[in-house]
Amino acid sequence: MSETRPEPMAKAYQPAQVERAVYQRWLDADVFAPDGAGSRARPTAEPFVIIMPPPNVTGALHLGHAARSATEDLMIRRARMQQRPALWLPGVDHASIAAQWVLRRVLADEGTTPEELGREQYLERMWRFMEETRPVIMGQQRRLGISADWGRERFTMDDGSARAVRVAFKRLYEDGLAYRGQKLVNWCPGCGTSVSDLEVIGTPEEGKLWSVAYHLLPEGAAAGAEPSRDEIIVVATTRPETILGDTAVAVHPDDERYRHLVGRLVRIPFIDRDVPIVADDFVERGFGTGAVKVTPAHDHTDFETGERHGLPRIDVMTDEATMNAAAGPYEGLTREACRTAILRDLEAMGDLVEAKDHEMVIGRCQRSDDIVEPRLKTQWFIDVKPMAERAMRAVRERRTLFVPERFEKVFFDWLENIYDWNISRQLWWGHRIPAWYCPDGHVTVSDVETGPGRCVECRTFELAQDEDTFDTWFSSGLWPFSTLGWPDATHDLRTYYPTQVMETGHDIIFFWVARMMMLGEWLTDQEPFRVVYLSGLIRDPYGKKMSKTKGNVIDPLGIVDEIGADALRFALINGAAPGADQRLGPSRLDGARNFANKLWNAARFVLGAKPAELPAEMALILPEADRMGPAEHWILSRCHAALRDADAAYGGFQFAEATRILHTAIWSEYCDWYLEMAKVRLGADVAPEARAATWQVLAWVLDRYLRMLHPVMPHITEEIWGRLPHRPDDGDLLITAAWPASEALQSAADESQAAAVADIIELVSQMRNARADAGIEPATWLDAELRFEQADRTKAFDAIADVVAKLARVRPTVGHAEHASERTAALVVVSPGAEACLSVGAQDRERDRVRLEKELAETEQLLTATSAKLANAAFVSKAPAAVVDGVRTRQAELQDLATRIRGHLGR
């Protein structure tokens, strides 16, 4: 503590300077890494590890990131103070599609396009872009005060990730899970790549359902024969342009209308293909005409129907979603133009039977909003079912828990109905698929960085690598272990894996969480994390999602500059129930700012009130019990309760509850009551040892609260703590000081004195209440005669009579007469265990009667309710004894209270 801090504490808290300075102090001390120079972790303690969900390199930090970072930092800081080796590994994701879109815009500004640059130059440019944006994102994270281990920062495109991707893919290939095949993929024409099922957003839209007449060939006629003019089958479709790719018409096998037509051939218009009518029970008889055109190359259902019936698949489109040569006369048209043309032509032919409005769901690309086209492509897929089984087992065996628990069901529902994962992306930015093909089409998969020397089958050297890259989420799925060194059994992997908590938004439970669990279980034989903590979305004050287009985005850095990172963190955590979305607006932020200010000022008072008799360099210790007054015992008791409850809340992921407890403890108990009580006992007329003891308690309790609050508001607590005396074993920084163990407090407080003070506080409140109701000026001092039912209350009162005087603005005496109030005009206050009579003028007394009457009415109402409960024989016999006793005690209290009030009212 030789370090000088010249600047005195400012009257109003100035977060910006304090936060930057404090953060630098931590960096200098090297305390973020579990094995850093400043770490005080016990090596034998169980490590606590969080791998940071990587923000995209492309975007600026938004409130969602801030909320997540705040929550993760909170957990890491608590674990660090518990002296566990706490590792929080930060990183960023390369976000291939998103990055590609962003860079395209950047390039457009520079007057060029990716196509012009070509793959190689494009990738160079992308890397440069990454080098520019990555530090920005990480700098923003730092500004929030997060205590990640920057020395271990990772990127999903770094060499370690690249190697993990290759090794993982080869393993999956050898295990028979990764395969290459021609299947229907979700093609986004705008992005020029396939996307996974998850990236296709079902969008309800108003469309049309057209009924089209297909002409049958005469019974028994071979393909190519002249179709009948009259014998038709009417099919219903929402996508007439796919008629050109039809290879069958399907009807339900039990449909009487069509049963006799099964096996006949129909003529597909415009391209003159003759296709069979097949029976398949996927057909809904009640929908449309009950007859369905089947286009296996452009519809997922039809693809499967085609598989069952061995139908050809005819792709009629190009990558740009225009019609290709297979579309015959319509070649070159866009999907939309082709539809219009076909409808026009059908109409002209008289084969357009009906057109009616139809509500439907259209698959659009999450990224570009283009209509996704199911198309036939030869790509890589992963059979995820076996991995899904493993992931689900981890949850069933409780090796991985969801918080909140209900997301387990969501998780299971998805994994139980999972399809193969298309992982090929026709993008340049990303990990290139490590598969090579020889001219004969043999496939060689290799995990060697430079690729395989020769074909595994024909040994030729002539190899070409797959042009495609992996779905971004493939490398993200390896994140919890690739960042720790996998596939090598590194020290980090052995020490820190499996990790403890994965904290992320519930919106990426499928994209990311489930995939990490599948890949983690499969590749490492362990669950990648023990707990999945899912947080909600941050919304604007009106409950709307924040989005750039709506213009309702709150920039977290703007808030940080304005009110400080600590206040923002407090607001975010205080407002978040696990898994639930939260609205964030100015009022909550103001509240958090005010709380920081309150804490700052309380600390300023405490530090400034240090009695001269205490040495400058002193250790933080609690004084002997007999040197403390009742108020000291009371605050120690309250402090103990707050610590116990807040710690339990932290431990149970009830972070908002923890902040609520600490807010109440600090503001409503410590500041509102104890500080005021302590002021009296710090006065010049107080015995020096009592004065010293009072300050020691003030400092000691503040120290506890600072420790407990540090995970949420790290900077301000660190700054204040640095100015307080420390315990010899604490070190210089709060960030590595010990987490308060609740048992340390147990013997400190004398609970009976604490209870006496609680009664006196209640009495003071009621005296204030009575004064306000009677309209007595706050400045007016009144004589008050107090009576206590128990001797220990009287004793406690004697010790803090000055406090009571000051807080209630009265000159108190302890009375012994039975009915003092009847002798003089007085306000009468009746509370459990105590009464007070305040001398006032007669007219005030009259107003006071009204208040007493009201109080009596309330008391009697409560009394009636409790008595009714006790009168119920079933309650008395069936409820637990403790509950019944509690009600009896309550009844007695109320009875007593009512009697006394009646007495004062002269009844």
Task: Report the site for RNA in 817-876 (rule: CB under 7 A).
Answer: 872, 874-875
Minimal distance, residue 898 CB to RNA, in Å: 15
Task: Between 177 and 658, name the residue whose CB sits nearer to RNA.
Answer: 658
Minimal distance, residue 671 CB to RNA, in Å: 4
Q: Can you tell me the distance from the alpha carbon of 231 to that of 266, in angstroms, rounded to the nearest whole number?
A: 10
Task: Between 821 and 866, name the residue whose CB sits nearer to RNA.
Answer: 866
Site string for RNA, 552-581 (x = CB under 7 A): -----------------------x-x--xx
Question: What type of residue is 195?
Answer: V
Residues numbered 674 to 703 that lie near RNA (CB under 7 A) are 675-676, 679
Task: Between 438 and 567, name the residue whose CB sits nearer to RNA.
Answer: 567
Instruction: State how far Cα 43 lies from the chain centre.
Output: 30
Question: What type of residue is 466?
Answer: D
Give residues with Cβ within 8 angstroms of 332, minimum separation 6.
Answer: 322, 323
Q: Which of 121, 182, 668, 747 binds RNA (CB under 7 A)?
A: 668
Which value, to the nearest 10 degrees, does the dihedral of the CA atoms of residues 311, 317, 323, 326 take? -40
Minimal distance, residue 1 CB to RNA, in Å: 23
Task: Between 28 and 416, name the residue whose CB sits nearer to RNA.
Answer: 416
Residues numbered 194 to 213 that lie near RNA (CB under 7 A) are 197-198, 202, 204, 209
Are the C-beta atoms of residues 96 and 476 closer than 8 Å to each other?
no
Taking CB under 7 A as the rule, does residue 660 contact RNA? yes
Helical (H) or strand (E) element with 643: helix 630-651
Residues numbered 880 to 899 that lie near RNA (CB under 7 A) are 880, 883, 886, 890
Task: Between 27 and 234, name the residue whose CB sits nearer to RNA.
Answer: 234
Taking CB under 7 A as the rule, does residue 772 contact RNA? yes
Q: Which of 41, 164, 656, 803 binds RNA (CB under 7 A)?
A: 656
Sheet with 529-535, side-by-side order of all strands: 86-89, 48-51, 499-505, 529-535, 401-403
Residues numbered 732 to 771 that lie near RNA (CB under 7 A) are 765, 768-769
CA distances from 208 to 238, 239, 240, 306, 342 (A): 6, 9, 10, 25, 14
Q: Which of 119, 356, 823, 878 binds RNA (CB under 7 A)?
A: 878
Q: Can you tell me the distance from the alpha carbon of 144 to that of 539, in angstroms, rounded to the nearest whole number?
A: 20
Minimal distance, residue 624 CB to RNA, in Å: 26
E-state strands within 17-61: 48-51
Residue 315 C-beta-side C-alpha neighbours within 13 Å: 17
Task: Between 433 and 675, name the residue whose CB sits nearer to RNA.
Answer: 675
In total, the chain counts a number of residues equal to 907
Are the C-beta atoms of residues 611 and 634 closer than 8 Å to each other?
no
Minimal distance, residue 128 CB to RNA, in Å: 35
Q: Which of 11, 42, 104, 356 binds RNA (CB under 7 A)?
A: 11
CA distances from 99 to 67, 467, 505 (A): 23, 18, 21
Site string for RNA, 581-600 (x = CB under 7 A): xxx---xx-xx-xx-xxx--
Residue 268 backbone dihedrals phi, psi, to 5 degrees: -80, 125
Q: Can you tell me the distance from the alpha carbon of 193 to that of 187, in angstroms, rounded to the nearest whole number?
A: 6
Give the interface segment with RNA, choosing from 353-361, 516-524, 546-554, 714-722 (CB under 7 A): 353-361
Taking CB under 7 A as the rule, does residue 360 contact RNA? yes
Query: By CB under 7 A, how many residues form the interface with RNA?
Result: 92
Task: Between 20 and 442, name the residue whose CB sits nearer to RNA.
Answer: 20
**Radius of gyration of the chain, Cα coordinates, nearest whole angstrom:** 37
Task: Give 573's DSSP letter.
Answer: H
Residues numbered 498 to 527 that lie near RNA (CB under 7 A) are 507, 510
Long-range contacts of 653-661 (CB under 8 A, 24+ apart): 653/403, 653/531, 653/533, 653/578, 654/578, 655/71, 655/74, 655/573, 655/576, 655/578, 655/712, 656/573, 656/574, 656/575, 656/576, 656/577, 658/712, 659/570, 659/573, 659/574, 659/712, 660/574
Minimal distance, residue 180 CB to RNA, in Å: 23
Sheet with 782-788, side-by-side order of all strands: 810-814, 782-788, 834-839, 826-831
Q: Which of 230, 729, 777, 818 binds RNA (CB under 7 A)?
A: 777
Minimal distance, residue 617 CB to RNA, in Å: 23
Site string for RNA, 404-443 (x = CB under 7 A): --x--xx--xx--x--------------------------
Q: Report residue 727 as tokens.
A: 């315990």
Q: Report residue 384 as tokens.
A: 């995820």
Give the interface segment with RNA, choosing from 519-527, 550-558, 603-611, 724-732 (CB under 7 A): 603-611
Site string for RNA, 216-255 (x = CB under 7 A): --------------------xxxx----------------
Minimal distance, residue 701 CB to RNA, in Å: 13
Minimal distance, residue 302 CB to RNA, in Å: 8
In the block, tokens 């028979």 appear at: 176
Minimal distance, residue 697 CB to RNA, in Å: 15
Q: Which of 135, 386, 541, 688 binds RNA (CB under 7 A)?
A: 541
Minimal distance, residue 136 CB to RNA, in Å: 29
Task: Between 239 and 644, name the residue whose CB sits nearer to RNA.
Answer: 239
Site string for RNA, 268-307 (x = CB under 7 A): --------------xxxxxxxxxxxx-----xxx--x---
